[in-house]
Amino acid sequence: MIGISPEQLRYARLLEYGARSGLVALIAGFAAYMGGVLPVQVPLDVLPRLWSLPAGDFVRESGIAAGWGWLQLLGKADLLALVGIVLLAGASLPCLILLVPIYVARKDWPYLGITLALIGVLALAASGLFGVL
């Protein structure tokens, strides 16, 4: 195969949008957090006591639900700052979904299977099923 495949170029374009929007949201959310624009779930001066705890203890003490429970607290600046992180973690998923119709049209069944399996793995990781151990 000579050159760069069209699906690779389309994947790159969509990944770029996802990465950029994630980084913008990350910085904007953190600026709002540090600027004291919104109330916070965990006061900043309490953090040094909590950030030395294991994640499970932190979740219990801070009153933030594991998994996707933090979405209920989006009005709090420290949880709003997580939106950028979530966008970055999710940036690859739409790019992989974009590949599905391309591989179907090309009848490239092995790569269709690999792509669907990869989407499944990422969706499982993101689902929150692993949120509570």
Partner 1 sequence: MKNNKSIACFGLGCGVVLLAVACPALAWAAGAPDAGGPWWLWPLALFLVCFVLGVIAVPAGIGGGVLFVPIVSGFFPFHLDFVRGAGLLVALSGALAAGPALLRAGLADLRLALPLTLLASAGAIVGALVGLTLPVAAVEVALGITILCIAVIMWRAKKSEYPDVARPDPLGAALRMSGIYRDQALGREIEWRVHRTPLGLALFAGIGVLAGVFGLGAGWANVPVLNLVMGVPLKLAAGTSGFILSIVDSSAAWVYINQGALLAVIAVPSVIGMMLGALIGARLLGAIRASVIRRLVIVILFLAGARALMKGLGWWA
Q: Which residues bind partner 1 (CB under 8 A)?
A: 1-5, 7-9, 11-13, 15-16, 18-19, 22-23, 26-27, 29-30, 33, 44-45, 47-49, 51-56, 58-59, 62, 64, 66-68, 70, 78, 81-82, 84-86, 88-92, 96, 110-111, 114-115, 117-118, 121-122, 124-126, 128, 130-131, 133
Residue 116 burial by Cβ neighbours in a 10 Å radius (0-12, 13-18, 19+): middle
The minimum distance between CB 132 and partner 1, in angstroms, equals 8
> Which pair of structure tokens corresponds to residue 47?
């953090």
CA distance 105 to 63: 48
Nearer to partner 1, 1 or 105 (CB): 1
In Å, how far from its chain's centre is CA 84? Answer: 7
